[in-house]
Structure 1
Amino acid sequence: MNRYIVYFSVILFCLFASAQNKTSILLSSTGHTGKIRDLGFIYGTNELVSVSEDKSLRWWNIEEMSLKEKRYLPDIIERSGSNYAIAINENLNLVAVGSAYNTLKEYAPVTIINNSNKSITKTLNVHQNNIVAIAFHPTDPLLISGDESGKLVLWDVSDVLSPTEINAINLSDKINEISFHPSQNIIAVATDSKLIEIIEYDPTNKKLKSNKPISGHYLGVNRVSFSSNGKYLISGGQDGYVIIFSQEGKVLKKISGLGHEITSLAITDDSEMAIAMTKVSGMGRSYTLPEGIPIAEFNGHSNTVYDAVFLKDENNNYLVASAGGLENEILIWNPINGTLSGKIGNGSAAVHNLEFVDNKLLINQTSNRQQYQYSFDLTDLVITPNPDNVISKNNKEDIKQLTPYLLKKGSINVKNDKDIDGRILSYYSTADEGILVGSDFTLSHYDKNGEYVGSLIGHTGGVRSITSNKKYWITGGEDEVIHFWLKEKYEDGPFASLYIKDDNEWVLWSADGYFASAGQGADHFGWLKPSSDDFQAFFNGSQFFSILFRPEEVQLSLEQGISVENILKAQGDRIFSINNIQRPAVALLEHPFSIDENNRSFYLISNGEVYQSDVAKITLPVKAIDGGSGIKEVAVYQNQKLIKSHQISSDERTLNLEYEASLLPGINKFSVIAINFQGIESRPDQLSVNYTGSAIATGDLHVFNIGVNNYKNSSYNLNYAEPDAKAFLEKIQAQSGNIFENVYAYSMYNEEVTKANVIAKFQEVIAKAKPQDLFIFYYAGHGTVDLESEFNDYYLVPYDVTQLYGNNEMLKEQAISAQELKNMLAEVSAQKQLILLDACHSGGAVELFAMRASPQEKAIVQLARSSGTVLLSASGTQQFATEFDELGHGVFTYALLQGLDGDADGGNKDGKITVNELKAYVEDHIPELSKKYGGSAQFPTGFSTGQDFPISVKQN
């Protein structure tokens, strides 16, 4: 069968399969993960809008360099949904998006969006090819769209709810860009021919017609733009020239010297300055108009710049936003001096190189192929930065790349189609003497005779790296994702996928939606639930954390090549289908707000996003609405720390609640979520309050430390839990006095440690701690999981618990559950909290642990995440914290003490140890210590939210 027939058959199959499945998984990081094809700036606001091949449409706040809104258009399936062009009409407050051809709908959509409420007003459906150019008239209610086939359509958008087609015309070449003249009824069209087509339009007679074209380029024209005063027309060509024409089409200036074809142009709204940017080199240059005199050069992008626009800052000075490079990022720079002002949306980077050595995946996300940034251990799901001692396996010596589109292996040739595949970016010799070929648009498998076998469909950007192990082909690309493909079932799509933002933030997800992650990694992927007439509903991975965060099962799945669902079925666990989700509940912070002094109200500052208050206590009204599966809990956070967890006992569909909050000086960021009975979280509703009242005195430190060496059931006894707890308290007291006004200790050991005593001691802390304080909870002893409960509840085990497993009534009555601990942490007012759990000891429990899958890591991470604390725990997946006689401590506390002594002081070596420095030190050194003294590396579990803060000062 012809290779292209096979290829498109596979695509069509995936398209219809995807439509049937209803919900699809995709990466959705802070930044774009595909080529950013077009930008638009809304003058008079701080909003920059971008569209990308990653299928998303995003609004950015250029003052804060942050993401404001993210949307996905309807019916995005597999290859459709890429967005190529954007236009903005400020008078009508409209955004128009031109997208790829939709196989199911059988048209390429022009989507009209109301920018005020970010809703779709209309979808226009006359194009039969990818729409790559779109423009609004600067003053009249007109829109024009052009596609790759050369079709040009003029629209009347005076009725924003029902735009109408005025006329269409077919040109002979692909359209690349369109520009309206501001005062004459003409349109300039850049095409793949050497000509700029000039199209006349007559709104009265509703006709488009070709006029005399403008010549000047000797290759295709990529960009064209009229100046806002109508005096100049500027074009950029595939020949590398920028040409400044008069409005009559006379060449005023022909500019060379950028070295590559021009891929983006922009003109200031005063018509006095222009910029041009290039393919491959990614450089840009600003010029005066109409003289074409160079002003400044910019070299910030690593590769092609797909679009650039002028912005205005708060002082009315011009800046440039340019999008491109292999990082798919937006750079903000100064066109007068060429300096970089900032980056928007830079999430991760393209995966340039992969290699598999000793069950570790070596990963390089820089263009320097001589080094690897990360090693990802598939056994322990641990990322190590800057791995050493790499032994390279060269599997490409027998393949030669002769041209950007041609490979040779022995006597066979593999040739790419320029339009279907694009350039060859990577290749790999397979065990059966075949070849995998990664390209701009495809990833293809060829046999030893050079015959096409099949396509691996899953990447949304060029595939730049390929490696393998016994079970998988592993690929990475410009979409920043690493895919694992089962060799015998690669037609089914990726078996698992990995995204790394940095070594502290990553997510690994399976094809059935279960995942393992570190840091805020779960925020970077999620599910689209289709809609036929509005933006698709996007559910973030974090919303399903309590259900789908299954690190042990994900690791086992990757190791064995068995789906997580089948592993869970074999274990008798509940299966959760993302396709059957109930709509999450909704929680909203209501307006207006009340203050406890004189019943004064908040008032808004100018940007409408931050409230002001000069009193320290406020009341937050919250409305919670049932989405179909009840409301189990409402949680309120201040600066990411849980301040109230409200367990709901009623079955009301709508609840109105109030919470009191004490403000800290400066900005206080509040958020609220509702959790339904499936364990699904709502998207957080957020607001910020700026407290302008009197400053609060320096904070205090509260340390509650517990150590249980001797248990009532002596088979559970430990050697170093009590000494570890005492040593930690002594160290933190000695080294924290210079940071805190007072240090308060709350301690208990051995038989003192009962549930009642722990709760009573917590009440002492709750009564004394203030919002500006730091609270540290240190626990050394046993921890356990009730595997009989629905959500595998986690418990800290006091002295008098005599049975770790098989007696859930005893655990409920005498142990301290994670939910109870979370509620007590919420009541502690201290905004900065650190939880240290040396609670995965072996002792007499080792046989019981060994007989069961260990869900402790999930429970511990969920505790940290839901409480908004920084948490460190002794051991990770299916491991046990170990006590070594040579160290005189458990390895966890030994590493803590070394770090607090000063070894964790990183960065600028300022003598202060912060929680993030301590976390990084412990995570790096526990594997080394446990391997040195015990023979095998152990990996701690860590999770942090919110700001970094100091806890210790190095003693000289």
Structure 2
Amino acid sequence: MKLKNILLTIILLTSITFANEIGKPFVQIGHVSAILASDVSPDEKYIASGGNGNVIKIWDIKTAKEIKTLYQHNDRRDWILFIKFSSDGKYIISADSGRDSEIKYWNLITGKIIKNIKLTGVTTKVISNKKYLVVLESNDKYTASIFNIKTGKKIKEFSINRGYIGSAVISNNSNSLIIGYGGDKNGIIKYNINTGKIINIYKDEHLDTITTMITSHNDKILISGSDDKTIKIWDNINGNILKTLHVNYKDIKSLYLTKDNNKIFFTSFNKVILWDIPTSKELNSFEGHKNHIFKINMFIDEESFITASADGTLKLWNIYNSNPILNFRGKTSEIYSMAILNNKLISHNKKRLKVWNLSNGKQIKEFLGNNNQITSISTNKNKIIVGGFDTSVNILNFENGKIIKKFKAEKKFKDKKLPTLRIRNKVIFSNITKDNKYIISVQYKIIQIINNKNGKLIHTLSGHKGGILSISFNSNGSNLISSDKSGTIKIWNIKTGKNIFTFTEPKNVLFPNIFKFLITKDDNYIFYTIKNAIRMLDINNKKIVKTFKLKTTTIYSLALSKNQKYMITGDQNKNVNLWDIEKKEIIKTFKGHSGEIYNVSFINNDKKIISGGSDGVIKIWDIEKSKEIIMLVSFNDGEWLSITPNGFFDSSKNGAKYLNILTNQLNVTSIDKFYNTFYRPDLIQKVLNGEDISKFIKDINLNKIIQDGSAPIVSIKTSSQKSKKRDINLKLEVCTIDDGGYDNLTLYLNDRAVDVISKDRALKLQKQSKTRKECFTISKLISLQNGKNKIGFKATNKAGTIESNLDEIVVNYKGRSDTKPNLYILSIGVDKYRDGDLQLKYSKADANAFAEVIQKVSNPLFKNIYTYQLLDKDVTKSKVLEMFKKIGKKTTREDVFIFYMAGHGITDAKTGAYFYLPVDFRYKNENSVRKKGLSQNDFKLALSKIQAMKSLTILDTCNSGSFSEAMASRGVLQKTAINKLTRATGRATIVA
């Protein structure tokens, strides 16, 4: 093994990025695939993890929130097999596996690479202690390379015995390297780390591969785990066996020996076992993972530990509890298939299909595609064709997701080279012919053609030597084309079932997988992927006429433009490349994915590109601007998000819970604190329609908002309880952070704002803490609703720009419920605005008519109905707020309140905020609206005075313009504003 170079300068390479920037929202995606390596920081605040997908995630251990993602775009790597924090916790060391791998030193604060060690052999193991970093490589020769772990400087290299290396460990005194072998050379060999000479060969070998080893803290004991279902305890001085523990567990990947040398924690498949050495008995087991556990990270007190698993999760455990107490998990799944129909994107997540509207970035539908794992999706007119693990092909109605037809493919395959019947018989591809007559079902090497009317098997097409990887139709749908793992492309006549064309990749390529191919409109050429190249095949003479080549990496996906002058590819290096077919060159590269790209397509008349893959996200790119414009994320729990690179987002009801903001280099906070700034569905739609939103970005200075100071930490000191009284006194605590201060102390009852306490009012109520000068408490009386009362409390910083977290308790109250409630109606309307340009004709009449109609139809339902009105000259800001106070004093929790408002409403295009214009409003400039209009905060304060928990707000307001907003976009902008208003008040709001 040779060391090529060590980059010791602090650099920011274009190919090296860390995904999460300070002051910009980012999505909590987590790991989508296996976690193979992890380590806890010395201060036990953070954990770093990595594995398949070649990304490193930094997590906050206390909150299980993802803080940063570190990844590299250009270099292909197999997986990350080693992660270690430095002893001072300032940087992270990582290593990937395979040929030409690298060791990287990452600055934890900045996320940038500070050292880069390039290796030339095939890296199989990387281990470390406080002094050394050791790399074990197998190539033409087997070597151990010793590095100073602090400086990255190579100290020594020596040869080691050949054989499969199952495990290795460095002694704590740094004098020896111990290697456990597997295969036909099972055994343990100890090497002098300074000379490379063999010190000892341990006797009484394991009967199977040694999978993990650890030494005691004083180096006197060596413990080894093996696939022979035993753990052996050795005298590490003379190599003699001291004890064999017949644990009867296989697949032991990780070990931890307690400081007293009496107990062992070890992993077996998906659980951790605690074993008592003196009695040789199992004391406890910890279960919760769904796949292999690769690493145990024990805390200093030996009472807590974190596990890393192939199921893509980390779990925090306490040794006294068999269940995990915290999960660090991936939120999405890999995107293997995508299809586009009527400007709608269809993707799948395990069993479910997700449908996105590409005009506004919303996920509009989700339905079950298969009772088992979905393996493929395709479309035909208004149908979705779904293949699954259970050998079924389902045809679904696109509009409602209902299954129109279901076919079961026959299980005929007896290829014993395949590991399981499940792999042999799953439907890996499915489709329907253009004439709607035949269903195509692909299982491994076999294609079945099924009659769409009666479900009968018509043809079974065989002849592929490798598993089939892709299928498609020619232009008129008469022929089926298929490609496989052996580098072969076949064309079949669908009607006769005959093979009419066969072509095999002529070059001698190792693993000649043809993952994707496309046929041109004239049926004369096929473009197909082969490793790091695309070939253009002339069908008529079976000759390759063009080859398009990348330096390295495997190409997984391919698409042609409508004019067939350009193509796009997605590859293992996480890149989307746009090619000029005539010139045979890449003209643009789009970077941003953190995993392999399995799907690419042109959309929007070839103006945009859409891509998806192993990182579980879908990205839309603007070709002309050469940049990402939107990311779409569908989560495993059914929630979704669409987000611009600048952080503007739209989401499902609870989708925003997966958004966080990095407020400094290692602190994240939830998007709730900045929700009003970044929740902008109107801007998502603008971007997708090709509009420039840079002017909106300029208006946001999030760094300034962050500099305003943190929101306080708030808590409800009153415990959850059952109450016999309707009115209870709450003890609320507020603790300010640094100079952030506090304001807008808000109480919520069942998600509705019921009291807003300003800073001035809080000063009169507060009682200073005797032990913590930054904290104070206030007492607040709250009236309960009959039944369950979920009481929440939150605040903002003194600038009102950042929200605190919400603290909640539950109080149950059983009161009288046999009496009818009262109904309170407040209707306001303005026709005669003092600004002559704003005058209306029907607002006053509508307000009167609304109150009359509601009163008439509601009489039988309520004990009493009380109607209040403000019309024309009385609709001033002060009188509206005063009226809410007046009504609020009369209402109870069981009453009903309806608020109707007619007149002029206006939406701030810069912030997406809604304002109602009172009668005395005069337009001078944009600031006059913000100053004189009734704002979201005004309505929040007003509605908090209303005791009635059942309430409805109806906005029958003319949108008099949205601060220079185009009329075509006002509808979605108004909806954005109303959604923000509803979230702030917790009250149902509709637009008439």
Band of TM-score, shorter chain: 0.5 to 0.7
| Structure richer in strand, relative to its length | 2
Alignment length (residue pairs): 756
- Call closer, same or farther: CA 1:83–1:385 in 2, change over 3 Å: same
1:858 aligns with 2:976: yes
Q: TM-score, length-normalised on structure 2?
A: 0.58
Spell out, residue by residue over 1:674-694, the C-alpha distance to the aligned partner (whole angstroms, 9 max, x if none): 375xx9x44x55596989xx9
Q: Which residue of structure 1 lines up, in the alignment, with residue 574 of structure 2?
A: 442
Q: CA offset at residue 309 of structure 1? A: 2.8
Q: Secondary structure at the match of 2:294?
A: strand
Deviates more, 1:722-731 or 1:333-342: 333-342
* Distance verdict in 2 for CA 1:231–1:634, change over 3 Å: same
Contact 2:602 2:608 in 1 (8 A): yes
Q: Contact conserved, 1:708 with 1:781, CA < 8 A, in 2?
A: yes
Q: How does 1:380-529 map to 2 (within 5 A)?
A: 381=362, 383-386=364-367, 390-391=383-384, 396-397=471-472, 398=481, 400-402=483-485, 406-407=513-514, 409=517, 414-416=529-531, 428=559, 431=562, 432=564, 438-445=570-577, 453=586, 455-469=589-603, 470=605, 471-487=607-623, 492-501=626-635, 505-522=639-656, 524-525=658-659
1:712-758 alpha-carbon deviations (Å, 9 max, x no partner): 565344998777778879999988x9xxxxx9976435739834553
Identify if the C-alpha distance between structure 1 residues 852 and 132 changes in structure 2 by more than 3 Å, giving closer, same or farther.
farther
Residue matched to 2:731 = 617
For residues 299-335 of structure 1, give each alpha carbon's deviation from its aligned partner in whole angstroms, at most 9, with x where no partner exists.
964xx757343889x998x99844233xx33468999
CA distance in 1: counterparts of 2:19 and 2:267, whole angstroms: 46
Tell me the CA shift for residue 47 of structure 1: 9.0
Q: Which residue pairs with 2:169 in the alignment? A: 179
Partner SS for 1:362: strand
Could you tell me which runs of 5 or more consecutive residues in structure 1 were left unpaired when the two chains were aligned. Answer: 1-10, 62-66, 114-118, 157-162, 278-282, 596-601, 605-613, 650-654, 738-742, 876-880, 882-956
Find the aligned partners of 1:134 and 1:667 in 2 and give their Cα distance. Answer: 51
Q: Does 1:636 align with 2:745?
A: yes
Q: Which among 697, 707, 726 is matched to residue 584 of structure 1?
A: 707
Give, in angstroms, the shift of residue 873 of structure 1: 3.8
Tell me how far 1:372 sits from its aligned partner: 1.2
| Matching of residue 265 in structure 1 with residue 254 in structure 2 | yes
* Aligned position for 2:899: 779
Secondary structure, aligned partner of 2:698 = coil
CA distance in 1, matches of 2:157, 2:48: 29
1:660 aligns with 2:782: no
In 2, Cα distance between the equivalents of 1:846 and 1:719? Answer: 25
Per-residue CA deviations over 1:910-932 (Å, capped at 9, x if unaligned) read xxxxxxxxxxxxxxxxxxxxxxx
Distance 1:176 1:26 in 2: 42
Following superposition, the deviation at residue 497 of structure 1 comes to 1.0
Aligned to 2:841: 715
Q: Deviations over 1:455-493 (max 9, x none)?
A: 54211123344444233332223322210123456xx34
Is the 1:474–1:482 contact (alpha carbons within 8 Å) kept by the matching residues of 2?
yes
Deviation at residue 564 of structure 1 after TM alignment? 2.2
Partner of residue 372, structure 1:
353
* Contact residue 414 and residue 450 of structure 1 kept, 8 A: no
1:553 partner SS: helix
Cα pair 1:405 1:417 within 8 Å, conserved: no
Instruction: Indicate if the aligned counterparts of 1:434 and 1:450 stay in contact, CA closer than 8 A.
Output: no
The residue number in structure 2 matching 1:902 is none
- Describe the shift of the 1:353–1:820 C-alpha distance in structure 2 as closer, same or farther (beyond 3 A): same
Going from structure 1 to structure 2, the CA distance change for 1:527 and 1:768 (only over 3 Å counts) comes to: same
Q: Is the 8 A contact 2:314 2:327 kept in 1?
A: yes
The answer to whether the aligner puts 1:763 opposite 2:885 as a matched pair is yes
Q: What is the alpha-carbon distance in structure 2 between the residues aligned to residue 769 and residue 191 of structure 1?
A: 78
What do you get for the CA RMSD once the two structures are aligned?
Answer: 6.6
Q: CA deviation at 1:558?
A: 0.8
Q: Deviations over 1:877-915 (max 9, x none)?
A: xxxx4xxxxxxxxxxxxxxxxxxxxxxxxxxxxxxxxxx
Of residues 615-624 and 665-674 in structure 1, the stretch that sits farther from structure 2 once superposed is: 665-674
CA contact (8 A) 1:437 1:444 kept: yes
Distance 1:520 1:635, change over 3 A: farther
Describe the SS at the equivalent of 2:884. helix
Distance 1:363 1:797 in 2: 44
CA-CA distance at 1:811 after TM superposition? 6.6
Q: Cα distance, 1:780 vs. partner?
A: 3.4
Contact 2:711–2:804 (Cα < 8 Å) also in 1: yes
Equivalent AA in structure 2 for residue 754 of structure 1: V
Check whether the contact 1:357–1:391 (CA below 8 A) recurs between aligned residues.
Answer: no
Find the counterpart in structure 2 of residue 233 from structure 1.
224
Q: Give the conservation status (yes or no) of the 8 Å contact 2:904–2:960.
A: no
Contact 2:263–2:275 (Cα < 8 Å) also in 1 = no
The 5-angstrom pairing of residues 679-698 of structure 1 reads 681-682=801-802, 698=815
Counterparts of residues 293-372 of structure 1 (less than 5 Å): 301=290, 305=292, 307-309=294-296, 321-325=307-311, 328-330=312-314, 343-366=327-350, 368=351, 372=353
Q: Aligned partners of 1:449 and 1:198: how far apart in 2?
A: 59
- Post-superposition offset of 1:208: 7.2
Which residue number corresponds to residue 28 of structure 2? 29
Alpha-carbon distance between aligned partners in 1 of 2:671 and 2:844, rounded to the nearest angstrom: 38
How big is the shift at 1:87? 5.0
TM-score, normalization: structure 1? Answer: 0.60
CA positional deviation for 1:764: 3.5
SS at match of 2:978: helix
- Greater CA radius of gyration, 1 or 2? 2
Equivalent pair of 1:588/1:624 in contact (CA under 8 Å)? no
* Counterpart for residue 57 of structure 1: 58
Q: Report SS of the residue matched to 1:587.
A: coil
Residue 274 (structure 1) aligned with residue 266 (structure 2): yes
CA contact (8 A) 1:85 1:97 kept: no
Structure 2 SS opposite 1:406: coil
Corresponding position of 2:94: 99
Structure 2 match to 1:14 = 14
Q: 1:662 to 1:147 in 2, by over 3 A?
A: farther
Q: Measured at CA, do residues 781 and 769 of structure 1 come closer, stay the same or move farther in structure 2, by a change above 3 Å?
A: closer
Name the SS of the counterpart of 1:14 in structure 2. coil
Distance 1:144 1:448, change over 3 A: same
| Per-residue deviation, 1:242 | 7.5
Give the 3-state SS of the residue equivalent to 2:609 in structure 1: strand
Gaps of 5+ in 2: 1-10, 370-381, 386-430, 433-469, 473-480, 487-510, 518-524, 534-549, 720-727, 762-772, 833-838
Shift of 1:849: 9.3
User: Aligned pair 1:754/2:740, yes or no?
Assistant: no
More helix as a share of residues:
1
- Maintained 8 Å contact 2:612/2:618: yes
Retained in 2: the 8 A contact 1:587–1:634? no
Percent of aligned positions with the same letter in both sequences? 13
Summarize the Cα distance change of 1:784–1:672 in structure 2 as closer, same or farther, 3 Å threshold: same
- What is the SS of the residue equivalent to 1:373? strand
Q: Is the 8 A contact 1:376 1:383 kept in 2?
A: yes
In terms of mean alpha carbon deviation, does 24-33 or 663-672 score higher?
A: 663-672
1:262-316 C-alpha deviation (Å, 9 max, x unpaired)? 7943457555563344xxxxx67979899999x9998964xx757343889x998
CA distance in 1 between partners of 2:683 and 2:699 (Å): 14
Give the partner amino acid of 1:415.
Answer: I
5 Å-filtered alignment, 1:904-919, equals none
Rate the CA distance shift 1:377–1:21 in 2: closer, same or farther, 3 A: closer
Change (3 A) 1:818 1:340: closer
Corresponding residue of 1:941? none
